[in-house]
Amino acid sequence: MRILVLHGPNLNLLGKREPETYGTATLDQINKNLSTLAGRHKLDINCFQSNCEGELITKAGSALTDYDFIIINPAGFTHTSVALRDALLASGKPCIEVHLSNIYKREEFRHFSYFSDIAVGVISGFGEHSYIFALEYIIKNYL
């Protein structure tokens, strides 16, 4: 099983970015924790971050041939990107949407997501653990 983890814009700044909202873990730490858990279950995992919508779209599209499952935190694109949603649909692969913060507790514009209705499920509000919960779900249900 090959898993693609997609991180959207500004998540490269985790650790320093609004720590009261997003926590203090860096993206590198989050990716390392995911890789450790994946390694224990002999899963292939590739983590990719970009601030560019087009790069995320291209990577999501590559899941058509290169990956079996997608974990995605679309970040700001959650609330804006039809094109990234279309790329996930084009991949034909199941995905889990994750957010560090609880988007439903925040500004109203964050309550709508272009991804929730096409995702297996949404995990929002558990900080860095949101990603781990997503991977644990895949391990329990798809291996």
Residues that bind ligand DQA (CB under 6 A): 10, 73, 75-76, 78, 99-101, 103, 110
Between CA 62 and CA 46 the distance in angstroms is 12
Q: Report, in Å, the least distance between residue 23 CB and ligand DQA.
A: 10
Please indicate whether residue 22 is annotated as part of the active site.
Answer: yes
Between CA 117 and CA 7 the distance in angstroms is 19
Q: Report, in Å, the least distance between residue 116 CB and ligand DQA.
A: 12
Q: Is-contact 106 96, C-beta < 8 A?
A: no
Q: Is-contact 70 77, C-beta < 8 A?
A: no
Query: And the tokens for 103?
Result: 């988007």
Cβ closest to ligand DQA, residue 6 vs residue 63? 6
Q: Report, in Å, the least distance between residue 76 CB and ligand DQA.
A: 4
Cβ closest to ligand DQA, residue 91 vs residue 130? 130
In the block, which residue shows the tokens 């919960």? 133
Cβ closest to ligand DQA, residue 7 vs residue 93? 7
| Catalytic entry in 7, 67, 99, 114 | 99
Max distance between CA atoms of the chain, in angstroms, equals 40
* Catalytic residue list: 22, 99
